[in-house]
Structure 1
Amino acid sequence: MRLLLTSDTHLPKRAKRLPEALLDELPRADVVFHAGDWVDAATLDLLEDRSRRLVGVYGNNDGPDLRARLPEVAYAELGGLRFGVVHETGPAQGREARCAARFPDLDVLVFGHSHIPWDTTAPGGLRLLNPGSPTDRRRQPHCTYLTARLTGGALTDVTLHRLPRP
């Protein structure tokens, strides 16, 4: 099973549209995760239309229209792994322990907010993944997103994709 992870698209504030490389990945993914801060409903509509399965949440920059359509926390069981998606996890310091305590029944937590890619494993085994942002790199050298494979009950081939500067 192929996974695509993205977050913090902030359209149309940070960019006019999603990068072509990310759009090209959508039909290849069995499941697309979006960890919030869509900003516009058109981006949610686009991902719903082009994705086989979309698991998304709202972020702190998402208004009432998106909050009415998306949960604050989403869950999905895929290939024997329990996934959760949330926008914000707080400061980097202590993140692993804080998230492991908040989500004790998950195997993988996808999150956003910082625009900073993150891939760590908390004590106890919770994998934390932040794909960064495909449209707003902030203090990072590149805009980014993640892909991964789910094979035999394991998350493999987690790959950070760097996008060219617009």
Structure 2
Amino acid sequence: MKLLMLSDTHIPLRAKALPPQVLAEVEAADVVLHAGDWVDEATLDLLEERSRRLIGVWGNNDAPGLRRRLPEVARFELGGLRFAMIHETGAATGREQRCDRDFPDTDVLVFGHSHIPWDTVSPGGLRLLNPGSPTDRRRQPACTYLTAAVADGRLTDVRLVPLPPR
């Protein structure tokens, strides 16, 4: 099962549209995960239309319309792995310990907010993944997203994909 992980698209504030490379990944993925800060409901509509399966949460910049359509926290199983997704996990310092405490019975936590890619494993064995942003690199060298695969209860081929400058 091929996964695409996105966050912090901020359309139309930071970009007018998702990059074509991201849209191609949406159509190729079995499951698209979006960890909030969509900003525009049209982006949610587009991903719902183009993806085979979309799982999303709302972020701190998402208005009431998106908050009505999406949960703050999503918990789901994919290929035998227990996932959770939330927009914000707080400061980087102590993140792994906090997430161990707040997300017991979870194998993989996908989050966003910082626009800073993140891939660590907590002391309790929780994999924490932040795909960065495909539209707003902030202080990062490039805009990014994550791809991965799930097979036989394992997360494999986790890859941070930098986008070319626009």
Instruction: Provide TM-score, normalisation by structure 2.
Output: 0.99
Give the secondary-structure state (helix, strand or coil) at the position aligned to 2:16: coil
**Amino acid corresponding to residue 63 of structure 2 in structure 1:** G
Q: Partners of 1:50 and 1:84 in 2: how far apart?
A: 23
SS at match of 1:42: helix
1:93 Cα shift? Answer: 0.4
- Map of 1:124 onto structure 2: 124
Query: Residue type matched to 2:153 in 1?
Result: G
**Amino acid aligned to 2:78:** L
SS at match of 1:161: strand
| Alignment correspondent of 1:52 | 52
TM superposition shift of 1:76? 1.1
**For 2:66 and 2:15, how far apart are their aligned partners in 1?**
19
CA distance in 2, matches of 1:75, 1:52: 18
Question: Whole-Å Cα distance in 2 between the matches of residues 162 and 13 of structure 1?
Answer: 20
Alpha-carbon distance in structure 2 between the residues aligned to 1:139 and 1:115? 9
- 1:146 matched to which residue of 2? 146
Identity among equivalent positions (%) equals 72
Unmatched segments (≥5 aa) in structure 1: none
Instruction: State the AA in 1 paired with 2:161.
Output: H
1:79 is matched with: 79
Give the structure 1 partner of residue 108 of structure 2.
108
CA distance in 1, matches of 2:144, 2:53: 21
Runs of 4+ in 1 over 3 A off after TM superposition: none
Q: 1:129 offset after TM fit, Å?
A: 0.1
1:22-68 residue CA offsets vs partner (Å, 9 max, x unmatched): 10011211110000000000000000001111110000000000000
Number of equivalenced pairs:
166
What is the root-mean-square deviation of aligned Cα atoms in Å? 0.5
One-letter amino acid matched to 1:162: P
Letter in 1 for 2:3: L
1:113 alignment partner, SS class: coil
Gaps of 5+ in 2: none
Aligned partners of 1:79 and 1:24: how far apart in 2?
23
TM-score normalised by length of structure 1: 0.99
Residue number in structure 2 paired with 1:33: 33
Q: How far apart, CA to CA, are the structure 2 residues paired with 1:15 and 1:133?
A: 11
Name the counterpart of 2:64: 64
In structure 2, what is the equivalent of residue 95 of structure 1? 95
Q: Tell me how far 1:142 sits from its aligned partner.
A: 0.1
Counterpart Cα distance in 1 of 2:115 and 2:51: 22
